Structures are given as structure tokens and as C-alpha cells.
Structure 1
């Protein structure tokens, strides 16, 4: 089986959750014998491929050009949408009229994609419900959850502790930007007098400096290799991802498999994944975030979430689900 993965051209330079999903899906499908090529050329010759797999409808302009090329070649098209109605979650004070107009215009392209592909592979029932309600599509779909690599269960806390001399800290892994809401965590960590570590690229430099002004003691790690993350997770007490929304946040799966206590946003598909194993917060309620982080810091770590994730969300399981969908 020959498959083309169509994805944004900067997926390696501008690393995000969709990058990890894309790379791990590719890695584990190849272990099952699927022959996969990668392209971001909207004029790619698609004649050699049995089917086309598109990723991400948030940055929809590129995806739309890939979709149109696949239609031109009359190929079967699979879509991992990675979609949530982003515009509804921007605080009103930060939302501009031009941004709303741009989002509405982008929805026209999304609607054509969702109604034109052959199979949609949402990461949750809630994501598919969001797509169905907004774009009125009745296309065939298969729920394909996001996955996590088993290496995150094997970190050595000592590797981090020996270098940075802290342990049992509050951790947030992810792009530093307003959507991820690290500013609230910086404030909460300062008020609770607990160490706070941020890991990930800075998307908005001014926002990073705001976090630093609120909490000058925070530890920021910008260039962390993916192989180093398991040890950082292992040394942390709580991983918090209090974003405007998450679907569900790959880093929360990674942290949960590493044994962290999890605090995450209530917005998005998080509860579908983490059930009663996590604490959920209103991302706009600083007191709620403070209380949940404090509870997580006081609670002993245990293996309940780790075991649950191991049974349901490892990448080999996810890849098998996708492979079955391809074969159908």
C-alpha cells in the first residue's frame, strides 16, 4: 500500500502537536508495512499513490490546496482534521474583527474539505461532533485517538534533577503563546511559591516576557530534544496545560504516561481522554487554576493514569486503527 502524507511545509521548523502526530503516525504505520511518502507540494504527481492522507484544518489554506490536487487525481482522501472552533475560545478582549473575518472565510474552505474527503479521522467523538455541527457533513468517519510513545514511561528523573537541582515541580510543555495560557501558571506558581518549568518554543516573544515579569524565578528550556522529555516529566510533580482548549494535548498524554499528576483545561476533548484521572480547570479562572495546581502538588503520584494510557493510547494501537481504516 502506497500512501502520500500531505502536510504543512514548515512541520519540522515550526514544531507543534500536529508535527508529533504526523511523524508518529508515519513511523508506526511504516512498521505495519505501509509505504509512506511526504509532500507539501500542492502540484505533486499523485498518480503513484493508493490514497492521500491530509493533516490539519486549522491552517486550512495549505490543506485546501492539497485537497484540490487529490481531487484532480481522483484519489481516495483521508483527513486527520485536528480541528476545533478556535475563534470561539479567544477571549473577547483579544479578538479582532479581521481575525473573525479571516476565520469565517477559512470555514468556506474547511466546509468543502469536510464534505469532499472520503474518510474523516477525528481524534475524539467531541471533535467529530464539533465538525458535524459546524459543517453539516455526513461523511464516513473513524475515531482515531491521539497516541503517545511508550518511551515516556521510561524516563529517569535523576537525569534532570542532577542538572537543575529541583524536583517535584510544576511543569508545562508546549508552545509559549496566549492560547497555552502559561501566564496564568507563572502567576499561580509565584503565589504558591513552587518551582515552575516551561519547555517549548516561544511563539510570541512579548508573551514570554510577560510570563517572566510575573515570575522571574521560572525556569525556561527552549531547546529540548524529544528524547530528553521523559526525564523532565519524570522529575515533575504536576504537568499543567490550562489552554483555551486542547484536543486533548499530546503533552498531557506524555506526562500522564510518565506518572505526572495532570491538570488540564476543561475545554475541548480532554475529559473524553482523561476521564477521572485528571483535574480540570476553567482556563479563564485564575483561582480555579491555583486550587487545582495546589491539589495536584499535594497529591502523591500514582500509576492509575499511566496504566490507563498504556492500555488505550499507545501509538502502535493508534496505527493499527488507521491501517484498518485504510484497508476498508
Structure 2
């Protein structure tokens, strides 16, 4: 059995958490014993059995269509919106009749199996895209083993703390963009005197937002912005190990890896009160209104007072271990063959 992985878009464009997960999951699948590799779009060799497309979106429509016509088994690793508001639901219904969602539904029908990251996403897949439960599986995002191994370790000096001269700080990581809401978090930290470390590159098209963030933190001594560290690097793990809590008050997410990494490190979580906050991997997290700096400030004060109350259960996040995710995908592939 041979499996080919196909990304949603070239990785030179808008490389973020979803793209990191494509590569991490491929590695996990390979370690599970499956003969899996990246699809070379220039190679005419079609001697493989399963095409695993990443992303249920129109960019993958032709790939799914032709793989199905060619007799390949098609697996789609999908992230869905949660359709939280009436506007989002109305937009979905309109698009389902004439445009994007109509094509997405057809793709879901053509796929042999859809893999989602949590039970809420599975419900969305079933309710909005009419995929029966028998063709849906759950496999969360991979958290590298190094994050689990470093959890609770205090037996070695923390090089991150020494290098950046920070301590007892709130950490947030991820591409800097309006959706991830670093600006409001920085405002709340500045107004409460809470040290904040931001790790992330500017997402393509978010220059104006990043300039607003720059202008804000230039006037503050308690906010540091590190413009990106290698995913899974020792320095990034040291940053998680050194922080007092992790914050990600994004307006929209599906299953952000950064929160899973913090959960694996057993750090208190502060997150937005949005649909993604209610999956089991973020149980106990402190939820705030992402659009309100006042709410964020109150959340930061609560974290300082009751840190231990907002740590997710360690046994739950172990689903994200590389071996467990790899085996979940392996089970799907074997059932299809």
C-alpha cells in the first residue's frame, strides 16, 4: 500500500500551522510503517493507492475529482469553520446553493474518508457536508515528542530566559495577523504590567496589522517580539518551559498547535471564548472575550491568582503524541484497502 500526501497550496505561500501539520503527520504516518511520501505533481507515475489531500477547499477540487476518476482511494484531512454566528450560517447556505460550499460538498461526497481533528469538527462535517459518521475519523494535530518530554522539567538552566532576559511572562506563538489578535493581547499586558513574549513571523498580507503592533510595543518595556523560531526547536521549547502561562485569544481557529504544545507542557491556557475553545484538549482553559481588552485584562489577573486551575488534563492531550496520530491514520488507510 502506497500513500501520497498533497498540500492545499505550495508551502512557499502562507506557511502556517496547517502546513506544519501536513509535514508532521506525514512523518508520523511513515513511522507507523506506512509507505507514504509527498506527491510530485510533475511526475506521471501513478503507482500508488491512496491520495491524502490536505484541505477540503476548492483548490483541491480537481485533485479529488481526478483521483476518484483514476480509481484511487481519496482521504481528505479537513479543517472546517464552526459556523458560530447567524451570518456565517446564512453565508454557508447561500454558498451551498451556488458557489464554494457546493463544490466542497461534492468533494466530500467523492472522498472515501474525511479525517478531522476533534469531535466538534466531526459534527460539522456530518451536519453541514452530509458525510456519514462511518466515513469520518478523528485524529488530532501532532505535538512533537520533545514537548511532552520537557513537561515539568526544571533540572537544567533555561537558555531562553537567559538570552532574552525575561521571567514570569505570558507566551503567545503563531503567525502575527489580525485573526490571532496579538494586538489586543499586547494592549492588555501593557495595561496590567504583565510581561509578554510574542513569537511569530508576519503573515503575508498583514503588514499594516504588524505595523500597529510594532508601534504599540515600541513604547513598552514589558513586551518582546521574536520574529519566528523554528517549529519544535530547543529554543522554542525553552520558551514554553519558561513561561508562566500561554495565551492565544484568536478570533477564529480550528485546533491551534500552539495551544496543544502548551497543554503538553502543562501550562495554564488563556483563550478566546469561541467554538474552538470547547474541544476536550483545551479543557480547563480560561476563556475571555477576544474583542475586549478589559476582558483580556481580567483574564490575565485571574491567571496570576489561580494558575493551576487552568491547566488542561495531561492524559487527554496524549492523543496528540506522534505515535497515536500516526496509528490513527494507519487505521483509516488499512480499512480503505
- The separation in 1 between residues aligned to 2:43 and 2:304, in whole angstroms, is 51
- The separation in 2 between residues aligned to 1:300 and 1:178, in whole angstroms, is 27
- The separation in 1 between residues aligned to 2:312 and 2:183, in whole angstroms, is 27
SS in structure 2 at match of 1:108: helix
1:1-328 residue pairs with structure 2 within 5 A?
1-11=1-11, 14-39=14-39, 41=41, 45=44, 47-57=46-56, 60-85=57-82, 105-138=99-132, 140-155=135-150, 158-203=158-203, 204-216=206-218, 217=220, 218-226=223-231, 227=233, 228-274=235-281, 276-300=283-307, 305=312, 307-309=314-316, 311-328=318-335
How far residue 61 of structure 1 moved from its aligned partner, in angstroms, is 3.0
How far residue 4 of structure 1 moved from its aligned partner, in angstroms, is 0.6
- The separation in 2 between residues aligned to 1:176 and 1:87, in whole angstroms, is 23
SS in structure 2 at match of 1:78: strand
SS in structure 2 at match of 1:121: strand
**Structure 1 residues 13 and 159, CA, compared in 2 at 3 Å: closer, same or farther?**
farther
- The separation in 2 between residues aligned to 1:316 and 1:75, in whole angstroms, is 26
How far residue 143 of structure 1 moved from its aligned partner, in angstroms, is 1.5
* Aligned residue pairs, count: 318
Higher relative CO (Cα under 8 Å, sequence separation at least 6) belongs to 2
How far residue 193 of structure 1 moved from its aligned partner, in angstroms, is 0.8
Conservation of the 8 A alpha-carbon contact between 2:84 and 2:275: no
Question: TM-score, normalising length from structure 2?
Answer: 0.85
CA root-mean-square deviation: 2.9
SS in structure 2 at match of 1:305: coil
- The separation in 1 between residues aligned to 2:12 and 2:304, in whole angstroms, is 34
Aligned to 2:153: none
SS in structure 1 at match of 2:116: coil
Aligned to 1:94: none
Conservation of the 8 A alpha-carbon contact between 1:171 and 1:240: yes
Conservation of the 8 A alpha-carbon contact between 1:64 and 1:110: yes
SS in structure 2 at match of 1:74: coil
**Structure 1 residues 3 and 276, CA, compared in 2 at 3 Å: closer, same or farther?**
closer
**Structure 1 residues 117 and 74, CA, compared in 2 at 3 Å: closer, same or farther?**
same
What are the ranges of 5 or more consecutive residues in structure 2 without an aligned counterpart? 151-155
Conservation of the 8 A alpha-carbon contact between 2:197 and 2:224: yes
How far residue 85 of structure 1 moved from its aligned partner, in angstroms, is 4.8
Which stretch shifts more, 212-221 or 159-168? 212-221
SS in structure 1 at match of 2:162: helix
- The separation in 1 between residues aligned to 2:280 and 2:181, in whole angstroms, is 21
How far residue 241 of structure 1 moved from its aligned partner, in angstroms, is 0.8
**Structure 1 residues 13 and 40, CA, compared in 2 at 3 Å: closer, same or farther?**
farther
Conservation of the 8 A alpha-carbon contact between 2:115 and 2:139: yes
Conservation of the 8 A alpha-carbon contact between 2:95 and 2:102: no
Conservation of the 8 A alpha-carbon contact between 2:264 and 2:317: yes
**Structure 1 residues 87 and 269, CA, compared in 2 at 3 Å: closer, same or farther?**
closer
- The separation in 2 between residues aligned to 1:313 and 1:141, in whole angstroms, is 18
Question: TM-score, normalising length from structure 1?
Answer: 0.87
How far residue 102 of structure 1 moved from its aligned partner, in angstroms, is 12
Conservation of the 8 A alpha-carbon contact between 2:143 and 2:322: yes
Conservation of the 8 A alpha-carbon contact between 1:46 and 1:73: no
